[in-house]
């Protein structure tokens, strides 16, 4: 479901036991909350955990509402705690109204850890470059990953925001994402779904020779 002024994709995965794992809650208006809640009600799912790929403004706008409605606190990689604390400033800068952010969940996300929710197993992989504490969540069994703003269909995440770094992003994509099976689906933070194989073959921002050169 795409929400807020930045068209951010909020992703929800089912844990096989009527539980919903919610990633990057972007809900920012009563209409968007209604859409989110109706979709969950239709499926009979209840949110059980709240995970952030990273803490940019567009990915945290719904955090206050998730706490108020479901008592869930967001979990983030420790390197993105500072990004989270800067989100209210970013909201001011962009003129986007945002409720005060809740505390972060005390358990941060650690590279290589496996999170288990019912039938769902997610491996956390640290992929800095767009944000310092950016992670992706890999569902190996489901052959899909929640990718945030690292790799998009035909594009990559911007690296000009605080804590961003282009060579680091290239390295994350090449050493973490492009080493995965080609059929692995990428569900990004913006725009349509893609696969690792498709991007490895044709993404114009990372060259095909694997030399790590950014082409744009
Ligand atoms: Zn971002
Ligand atoms: Zn984003």
What is the number of helices (H) and of strands (E) in the chain?
Answer: 6, 14
Share of the chain above pLDDT 70, in %: 95
In this structure, which ligand is nearest to the CA of 152?
2
Q: Does the structure show a pLDDT above 50 at 200?
A: yes
Ligand nearest to the CA of 87: 1
Q: Is residue 208 part of a domain?
A: no
For residue 97, the domain's CATH number is 3.60.15.10
Say which ligand is closest to the CA of 188. 2
Cα–Cα distance for residue pair 133/130, rounded to 1 Å: 9
| Beta-bridge mates of residue 23 | 11, 51
Q: What's the CA-to-centroid distance between 31 and ligand 2, angstroms?
A: 20
**pLDDT for the residue 122:** 98
72-100 pLDDT tens trace: 999 999 999 999 999 999 999 999 999 99
Residue 211 lies in a domain: no
- Structural domain includes residue 159: yes
Burial class (CB in 10 A: 0-12, 13-18, 19+), 69: middle
- In-domain check, residue 212: no
Q: What is the CA radius of gyration of the chain?
A: 16
Tracing tokens 């569900």 back to the chain, one arrives at 187
> Does 209 fall in a domain?
no
Whole-number Å distance, alpha carbon 44 to ligand 1 midpoint, is: 30
Residue 210 has pLDDT above 80, yes or no: no
CA of 149 to the centre of ligand 1 (A): 5
Ligand 1: distance of its center to the CA of 71 in Å?
A: 24
Tell me the pTM. 0.95
Question: Ligand 2 centroid vs 148 CA: distance in angstroms?
Answer: 7
Q: What is the mean pLDDT of residues 55-66?
A: 98
In a domain, 18, yes or no: yes
Which ligand has the minimum distance to the alpha carbon of residue 158? 1
Is residue 69, in this structure, part of any structural domain at all? yes
Give the number of the ligand closest to the Cα of residue 83. Answer: 1
How high is the pLDDT of residue 156? 97
Rounded to the nearest angstrom, the distance between the alpha carbon of 55 and the centre of ligand 1 is 7
Note down the domain range covering 137: 2-202
Tell how far the Cα of 40 is from the centroid of ligand 2, in angstroms.
22
pLDDT digits (tens, 9 = 90+) for 144-194: 999 999 999 999 999 999 999 999 999 999 999 999 999 999 999 999 999
94 in any annotated domain: yes
Ligand having the closest approach to the CA of 189:
2
Ligand approaching nearest to the C-alpha of 54? 1
Q: Alpha helix locations (H) across 23-129?
A: 30-43, 57-60, 63-70, 81-94
Indicate which ligand has the atom closest to the C-alpha of 161.
1
Q: How many domains does the chain have?
A: 1
pLDDT at position 201, please? Answer: 95
């Amino acid at each position: 479901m795409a929400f807020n002024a930045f068209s951010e994709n909020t992703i929800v995965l089912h844990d096989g036991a009527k539980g919903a794992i919610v990633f990057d809650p972007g809900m920012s208006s009563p209409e968007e909350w209604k859409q989110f809640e109706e979709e969950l009600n239709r499926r009979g799912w209840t949110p059980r955990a709240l995970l952030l790929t990273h803490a940019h403004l567009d990915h945290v706008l719904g955090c206050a509402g998730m706490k108020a409605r479901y008592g869930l606190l967001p979990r983030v990689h420790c390197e993105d705690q500072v990004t989270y604390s800067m989100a209210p400033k970013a909201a001011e800068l962009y003129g986007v109204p945002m409720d005060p952010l809740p505390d972060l969940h005390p358990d941060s996300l650690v590279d290589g850890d496996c999170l288990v929710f019912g039938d769902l197993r997610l491996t956390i992989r640290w992929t800095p470059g767009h944000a310092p504490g950016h992670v992706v969540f890999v569902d190996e069994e489901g052959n899909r990953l929640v990718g945030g703003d690292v790799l998009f269909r035909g594009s990559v995440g911007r690296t000009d925001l605080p804590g961003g770094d282009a060579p680091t992003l290239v390295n994350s994509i090449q050493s973490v994402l492009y080493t995965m099976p080609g059929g692995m689906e990428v569900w990004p933070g913006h725009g349509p779904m893609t696969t690792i194989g498709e991007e490895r073959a044709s993404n114009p921002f990372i060259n095909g020779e694997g030399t790590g050169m950014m082409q744009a």
